[in-house]
């Protein structure tokens, strides 16, 4: 069970009931995460949609799967259409149903197709690629909890990169699934009109003050960051406040592994 060979997805076993499902063949290095409880499983995001992630989750669990959307950007909702139970924060339900505002389809098609280093399946055609649109099964709100059976997940509304972004905390294991709020290597983007540098800093401060975080699993780049990256996050938000840099156009700001771009 622990090792799955696949042409497009790379499966990393984090522990006996947690997997990262990664798309290293694409420049964005996107990760989705499968969390298996006693009664059901949660899939945090569904990837780029270049290939069908359901092929992987079907091999990892036969339990019913609830999809938790960290945020409605095209690179995190790619295989949403392959699942029935999709949940999204109330502030991005409209984007899921009606499409993401402000990002032309030509740009999405250009971004999904460029810098690909692995063979893509014949079903993938960047010329006709369209981000998932559909009605979610349910709505997420700040401080909601989801019980997978002996495994509880806490939802935190963490706007900034997008208005309805959520981070998901696995209370038993101390894992924080941080989506596009915290990851390493490349900056967290908050320079689109739909983003908010002020909200991002507030959300970062809130997550940096969480106790009992052991590992952080972001939506891109490295899988599993030690919790001391939260010290760098805190240091950066302190610096941004001190020098009044929390506004559009101030560029990239970095402390250690963590950076933001406004
Ligand atoms: Zn995003
Ligand atoms: Zn992303």
Using 50, 70 and 90 to split pLDDT, how confident is the model at 1? very low
Percent of the chain past pLDDT 70, that is, above it, reads 99
* Residue 18 placed within a domain: yes
Residue 3 is predicted with a pLDDT of 74
pTM for this model (two decimals): 0.97
**What integer best gives the mean pLDDT of the chain?**
96
CA 60–ligand 1 middle distance (angstroms): 26
CA 194–ligand 2 middle distance (angstroms): 14
Measured from the alpha carbon of residue 100, the closest ligand is 1
Task: Tell me: pLDDT of 121 over 90.
Answer: yes
Rounded to the nearest 5 degrees, what angle is found at the Cα of 36, between the Cα atoms of 35 and 41? 85
Give pLDDT tens digits for 14-43.
Answer: 999 999 999 999 999 999 999 999 999 999
Total domains in the chain come to 1
For residue 131, the domain's CATH number is 3.60.15.10
Query: Average pLDDT for residues 116-136, to the nearest whole number?
Result: 95
* Residue 253 placed within a domain: no
Residue 169 CA to residue 206 CA, distance in Å, equals: 13
Residue 130 is predicted with a pLDDT of 93
Give pLDDT tens digits for 152-207.
Answer: 999 999 999 999 999 999 999 999 999 999 999 999 999 999 999 999 999 999 99
* Residue 36 placed within a domain: yes
Query: Average pLDDT for residues 127-145, to the nearest whole number?
Result: 97
* Residue 167 placed within a domain: yes
CA 261–ligand 2 middle distance (angstroms): 14
Buried/exposed 164-178: b ≥16 CB within 10 Å, e otherwise:
bbbbbbbeebebbbb
CA 179–ligand 2 middle distance (angstroms): 7
Query: Average pLDDT for residues 224-250, to the nearest whole number?
Result: 98
Residue 242 is predicted with a pLDDT of 98
Residue 44 CA to residue 55 CA, distance in Å, equals: 16
Task: Tell me: pLDDT of 2 over 70.
Answer: no
Query: Average pLDDT for residues 204-214, to the nearest whole number?
Result: 96
Residue 155 pairs in a beta bridge with 168
Least confident segment among 1-5, 70-74, 111-115, 121-125: 1-5
CA 189–ligand 2 middle distance (angstroms): 9
* Residue 86 placed within a domain: yes
* Residue 134 placed within a domain: yes
CA 223–ligand 2 middle distance (angstroms): 14
Give the domain extent around 50.
Answer: 10-184+211-226
CA 76–ligand 2 middle distance (angstroms): 6
* Residue 57 placed within a domain: yes
CA 172–ligand 2 middle distance (angstroms): 26
CA 65–ligand 1 middle distance (angstroms): 22
Residue 103 is predicted with a pLDDT of 84
Residue 100 is predicted with a pLDDT of 85
* Residue 260 placed within a domain: no
Residue 21 is predicted with a pLDDT of 98
Q: What is the chain's Cα-based Rg?
A: 17
Residues around ion ligand 2, judged by CB within 5 A, are 75, 180, 219
Measured from the alpha carbon of residue 189, the closest ligand is 1
CA 27–ligand 2 middle distance (angstroms): 11
């Amino acid at each position: 069970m622990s090792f799955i060979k696949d042409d497009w997805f790379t499966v990393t076993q984090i522990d006996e009931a947690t997997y990262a499902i990664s798309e290293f063949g694409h420049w964005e290095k996107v990760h989705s995460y499968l969390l298996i409880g006693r009664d059901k499983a949660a899939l945090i995001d569904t990837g780029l949609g270049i290939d069908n992630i359901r092929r992987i989750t079907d091999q990892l669990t036969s339990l019913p799967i609830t999809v938790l959307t960290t945020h409605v950007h095209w690179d995190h909702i790619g295989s949403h259409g392959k699942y029935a139970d999709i949940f999204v924060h109330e502030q991005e339900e409209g984007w899921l149903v009606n499409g993401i505002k402000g990002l032309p389809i030509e740009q999405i098609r250009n971004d999904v197709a460029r810098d690909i280093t692995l063979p893509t399946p014949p079903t993938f055609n960047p010329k006709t690629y369209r981000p998932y649109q559909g009605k979610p099964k349910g709505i997420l709100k700040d401080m909601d909890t989801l019980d997978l059976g002996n495994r509880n997940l806490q939802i935190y509304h963490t706007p900034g990169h997008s208005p309805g972004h959520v981070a998901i905390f696995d209370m038993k294991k101390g894992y924080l699934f941080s989506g596009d709020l915290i990851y390493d290597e490349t900056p967290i983007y908050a320079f689109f009109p739909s983003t908010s540098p002020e909200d991002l800093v507030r959300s970062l401060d809130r997550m940096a003050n969480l106790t009992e975080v052991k590992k952080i699993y972001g939506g891109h780049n490295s899988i599993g960051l030690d919790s001391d990256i939260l010290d760098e996050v805190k240091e950066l938000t302190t610096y941004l406040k001190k020098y009044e840099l929390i506004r559009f156009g101030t560029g990239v700001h970095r402390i250690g592994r963590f950076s933001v771009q406004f």
